[in-house]
Structure 1
């Protein structure tokens, strides 16, 4: 990123957008018309003045050299990060020197902000160490708190088992007549029992009776998985360590990243957000060029705010990660970053569609509640399959169906356009509902194309 002459692609910029509306608005500002005094520096800053509805233009500056991800400052009133002006400025910068000349001297307002935030960042490690001292709490007190919480979870699990037994005894049709209120009440009881993972699964049960034809089968399947999780908790002391960690995680008990730090050059495979009324969850998939492992970074934003962690798709960062407990778990905590994300020609190795399905089946042995696994498919072609779509191995008769939510998305048409009938490499999530494509690369040279 700080290398002169190396700029992001438009796809990498738009991957930073907090939502679809920002992506659309930022794209409109990616032309030179509303901008003046734009420039970029060798130190990794990009700035410009954008004409708005008022008499004074908005001052927009982006620090692209921050190892933790781009940072933004704009005088507009938007509460989104990045705002549409920051996205538009980066799109303009991605277009080359004509609109945003490089090696320029930043104006005072941009230089002061960049210098100030970098100075503050230099002091963070010491501040974090000082702030960690009170965390060295009494181990005995921590043990007692953990025991009390386990007792509350056990009480909640026992109550949930009784409610599932009552449902099956009365027949699944009773679930449709009872409506969502019964499930919401049960979910609230799981929250009281300090088992948020169980509460989330119970709420999902409440939506199934109104999900269309075949709902009784889906409800029975989910009840069975929930019963399995309940039994896993009640017998957690007898489980293998990895499976026991998966049960604790699915119930909702917090865990810290315990694995030793692994330094690698991590390719950013994909980034996307999912949101409900209270929380936005950002999933960032990474591929280690040296270790060959696939890792997942989760970050959260409350109250409608976008999560802070942003890593542009298709770039690579030199960083350390630490794994969370649990056999087969991909989640990691992002540690020290030694350089800003930079362009790379790294691509993850791929597998066939049959190997991808087998990989998901093997992963279910370690975590029966796993929705999907990350997989890169090599040399596949998107092809229609009746009213649906699939990814077929080039030159063979094997294929994976696309997950329902991917069959009519804009990402599918981008994938079809990228392929044009030729094989492509596709990264995504393979699960029991099918394959969800997230990022694709052409077979020859070319940048990553985000599909979600």
Structure 2
């Protein structure tokens, strides 16, 4: 039991796992057998877990973060020992009694909670750590000007690359191979424009990717050209749109707005990975503000992102929105404390409302792939071209994205529905709808993860 008297369920704990292997390994450690010296106090739980070595692993979890520390060599966050400890606490109310924390746990907890400048929080993986104050504002201004000049040169070079592509014809892109695109992407990295580099890599993956690839390539070239031109004329754009453009090319804008405190329902947590980085997206919904927020956490070099929240939990904490991204992306404050409270789904509507919301979001950010929406009273159904979510009255329907149709979460959604209308939260975009969480009429307070 944490400081607020709220216990995570086993399902919520397993939702924190960085992958299936950690989920299975954590489940095996969720019994009293390998544990000794367990205890809890003040929103923290700790214990010693017997491993392969002579000394047991020291594991401590701060559920107000949440954050984890363990002496095991695992590079995953949370590791299997932290998962096992939380599962033990979830299944056995007497496994971790109220007690004073041992020195090793107290030292780590004190470092996290008693650190006014945020150093310990950043070491523990807090995504909401504020950036350090700039020691020399004038030097920072000169660095920003030099970087802007490099990005401008990169955007001009990319414009020439796109012009050459269209002049030579899209058919030639398939023969050119991926090497030329990768070289162009590397030039964008040198120009310190990672957003442009990412778009170039996407362009390089389109030729030969299946029927209709020339159309997709032309569409993405047009969006890349639009971003180039927007950057080159950013000084004449309205401030909110200029902020979106700067974010899209890869600049990190300062987060300096007023924080918003609320009880946040954790809607979904999903990871995407490439050779360089694992990106974790966590969707939250404010029960009082009715605001949907996106938290991003990153893990480099094969490491899992450190930020993790249990899906379906209600957390009391503060978020500070970013100045761009449609106001969706936010940075969390230092502590998120689980609280008892209603966990009803966000307000939603029919398919037509979801499409309208995505259309309005595109007006402010033309490069937006998707927008968070909640569909009410929809039924999963198999159509000629694949699965879709249809209004219960049959008026409109949204196709599921190809990726969503190949995930086990689809069958969980179908089983939850059983042919009856359900409420579904997900991302609506030009490729279709990706369901992330669902609620049945029989259990509207139970969030069922679909990813």
Task: Tell me if TM exceeds 0.5.
Answer: yes
2:39 is aligned with 1:43? no
Which position in structure 1 is the counterpart of 2:107? 116
Q: Name whichever of 162-171 and 271-280 sits farther off.
A: 271-280
Q: Name whichever of 195-204 and 384-393 sits farther off.
A: 384-393
Task: Give distance in 1, aligned partners of 2:412 and 2:180.
Answer: 42
Task: Give distance in 2, aligned partners of 1:239 and 1:42.
Answer: 53
Residue 240 of structure 1, aligned match among 232, 238, 241: 238
For residues 2-21 of structure 1, the aligned pairs below 5 Å read 2=2, 6-21=6-21
Cα deviation per residue 1:52-94 (whole Å; 9 max; x = unaligned)? 556x5844534243x2214242x54322222223223322332
Residue 267 of structure 1, aligned match among 258, 265, 269: 265
Considering only aligned residues, what root-mean-square deviation do their CA atoms show, in Å?
2.6
| Counterparts in 2 of 1:4 and 1:266: CA distance versus 1, 3 Å | closer
For residues 89-100 of structure 1, the aligned pairs below 5 Å read 89-97=85-93, 100=94
Which position in structure 2 is the counterpart of 1:388? 386
Cα deviation per residue 1:358-386 (whole Å; 9 max; x = unaligned)? 10011100000000011112222222113
Residue 69 of structure 1, aligned match among 66, 70, 76: 66
Which position in structure 1 is the counterpart of 2:124? none
Task: Give distance in 2, aligned partners of 1:133 and 1:229.
Answer: 27
| Counterparts in 2 of 1:315 and 1:84: CA distance versus 1, 3 Å | same
TM-score, normalising length: structure 2: 0.90
Where do 5+ consecutive residues of structure 1 fail to align? none
2:119 is aligned with 1:125? no
Q: How many pairs were matched up?
A: 441
Is the partner of 1:61 in helix, strand or coil?
A: strand
2:449 is aligned with 1:450? yes
Cα deviation per residue 1:153-175 (whole Å; 9 max; x = unaligned)? 11111111111111111111111
Task: Give distance in 1, aligned partners of 2:132 and 2:316.
Answer: 31
Which position in structure 2 is the counterpart of 1:340? 337
| Counterparts in 2 of 1:277 and 1:133: CA distance versus 1, 3 Å | closer
Where do 5+ consecutive residues of structure 2 fail to align? 121-128
Task: Give distance in 2, aligned partners of 1:134 and 1:375.
Answer: 35
Task: Give distance in 2, aligned partners of 1:36 and 1:333.
Answer: 35
Task: Give distance in 2, aligned partners of 1:169 and 1:136.
Answer: 46
Task: Give distance in 2, aligned partners of 1:420 and 1:238.
Answer: 53
Residue 103 of structure 1, aligned match among 93, 97, 107: 97
Task: Give distance in 1, aligned partners of 2:69 and 2:118.
Answer: 23
TM-score, normalising length: structure 1: 0.90
Cα deviation per residue 1:86-136 (whole Å; 9 max; x = unaligned)? 223322332243xx5353547xxx63332111222233114659x999833
Which position in structure 1 is the counterpart of 2:123? none
Task: Give distance in 2, aligned partners of 1:27 and 1:102.
Answer: 17
| Counterparts in 2 of 1:276 and 1:356: CA distance versus 1, 3 Å | same
Residue 425 of structure 1, aligned match among 423, 426, 446: 423
| Counterparts in 2 of 1:258 and 1:112: CA distance versus 1, 3 Å | same
| Counterparts in 2 of 1:391 and 1:38: CA distance versus 1, 3 Å | farther
| Counterparts in 2 of 1:145 and 1:450: CA distance versus 1, 3 Å | same
Task: Give distance in 1, aligned partners of 2:176 and 2:378.
Answer: 46
Q: Name whichever of 421-430 and 192-201 sits farther off.
A: 421-430
2:289 is aligned with 1:291? yes
Which position in structure 2 is the counterpart of 1:24? 24
Deviation, 1:194, is: 1.4
Q: Name whichever of 275-284 and 319-328 sits farther off.
A: 319-328
CA contact (8 A) 1:229 1:247 kept: yes
Residue 311 of structure 2, aligned match among 305, 310, 313: 313
Task: Give distance in 2, aligned partners of 1:207 and 1:68.
Answer: 39
CA contact (8 A) 1:8 1:343 kept: no
For residues 181-330 of structure 1, the aligned pairs below 5 Å read 181-326=179-324, 328-330=326-328
Which position in structure 1 is the counterpart of 2:412? 414
Cα deviation per residue 1:259-316 (whole Å; 9 max; x = unaligned)? 2111212221111111111111111111112211111111211111112212111112
CA contact (8 A) 2:267 2:311 kept: yes
CA contact (8 A) 1:379 1:443 kept: no
Task: Give distance in 2, aligned partners of 1:280 and 1:293.
Answer: 26
Task: Give distance in 2, aligned partners of 1:311 and 1:104.
Answer: 23
Deviation, 1:396, is: 3.3
Task: Give distance in 1, aligned partners of 2:42 and 2:317.
Answer: 20
Q: Name whichever of 117-126 and 1-10 sits farther off.
A: 1-10
Which position in structure 2 is the counterpart of 1:86? 82
Task: Give distance in 2, aligned partners of 1:26 and 1:423.
Answer: 35
Is the partner of 2:241 in helix, strand or coil?
A: helix
CA contact (8 A) 2:351 2:390 kept: yes
Task: Give distance in 1, aligned partners of 2:173 and 2:51.
Answer: 54
Q: Which runs of 4+ in 1 moved over 6 A?
A: 131-134
